[in-house]
Amino acid sequence: MDLRTLTEAFGPSGQENEVRKLILDAAAKLCGDVSVDRSGNVICRKRGGDPGKPSVTFAAHMDEIGFIVTGHTDDGLLRFQPVGGVDPRVAVSKWVLVGPERVKGVIGAMAIHLQTKADRERVLDYDALYIDIGAKEQKEAEKLCPLGSYAVFDTPYTEFGDGFVAARALDDRVGCLSLLRILESDYAGELCCAFVTQEEVGLRGSTGAAFHLQSDIVIVLEGTAANDLGDTPERFQVCVPGRGVAISFMDLASIADTQLFSALQDVAMEHNIPYQIKRAVTGGNDAGSFQRSGKGARTCVLSVPCRYIHSGNNVAKLSDIKAQADLAVAFLNSL
């Protein structure tokens, strides 16, 4: 499995089928116990047989941000709302793919020539945007893209510059790729890899997975906002692409276990794996579900720094993606 295939798969929250199929096919070659639960999570378990070892889960989410069709206009345009957190400013003029037939469309707004002064001074909300699929009337639009059809940005995977990659859904297909690499490892205790659903709309898939698995240790593999561009002072930069995987001490959904937080840094230094500390308490992820479900779990988050996250083009450094997987595997081997 490669990153291009994962990022170009269609998988907004609640419609992860295409991504799940890819992961099931890849995981079946690496693990003898692969299942799908009622939330659509893919759960891979490798039982090492040593009860003295802590049970460990590594988790990443399959879903991506996207859109959903909520209406049709008389002249064949689609009304829509975001699925997950998508700033409408990054949506205007972007190509999208809509529905199971992957109908091509362009997100549009009133031309600047026609906007009032008040329009130009505010961010146009989704009620002022539409998806143009080239339909001539409402009935054609309804047939091609019925209510409830999902849409995602139509963005090709592109490697560019000094080891950078631009793609949609790096958040969190980078984590899914790392999980597949972890599945190649042997561990004396119980190892689980959880590919979870609907993270972008409230950590929904991981809630059920957390209650089911009840692991001692959970390491969540994510993508996170970098905020390293322009004149941003270093103290306000969350993390920087190219400086390694970001280890979080806290975000808006969980607080890292202090021993895990320290141990991950020690392992990274021992194995010369580039890492950095995520320097801001921002966002939230599936660690919140695992930390607070059932008996709870010791958690920490390893993230790949991503520029322009939650947009049609995420940008990350390939070396940071490798560092995420390297650190996860080295940590598992250190237990």
The CA radius of gyration of the chain, in Å to the nearest whole number, is 21
Q: How far apart are CA 307 and CA 301, in angstroms?
A: 18
Q: Is 16 designated active site?
A: no
- 16, 64, 190, 199: the active-site residue: 199
Looking from the CA of 277 toward its CB, the CA atoms found within 13 Å total 13
Question: How far is residue 51 from each of residues 45, 55, 237, measured CA to CA in Å?
Answer: 15, 8, 42
Tokens standing for residue 115: 């906007």
Q: How far apart are CA 64 and CA 172, in angstroms?
A: 7
State the residue for tokens 């599945």: 183
Tokens standing for residue 19: 């991504």
Residue 24, classed as helix, strand or coil, is: helix
Beta strand pairing call for 298-306 and 217-225: parallel
Q: How far apart are CA 185 and CA 238, in angstroms?
A: 31
Q: How far apart are CA 118 and CA 278, in angstroms?
A: 38
Q: How far apart are CA 143 and CA 308, in angstroms?
A: 34
Q: How far apart are CA 275 and CA 59, in angstroms?
A: 19
In terms of Cα–Cα distance, which of 311, 268, 226, 322 is closest to 300? 268
Question: How far is residue 61 from each of residues 6, 40, 221, 264, measured CA to CA in Å?
Answer: 12, 11, 8, 21
* Other C-beta atoms lying within 10 Å of the C-beta of residue 144: 20
Residue 127, classed as helix, strand or coil, is: helix
Q: How far apart are CA 196 and CA 202, in angstroms?
A: 12
Answer whether 191's CB lies under 8 Å from 273's CB: no
Residues annotated as part of the active site: 199
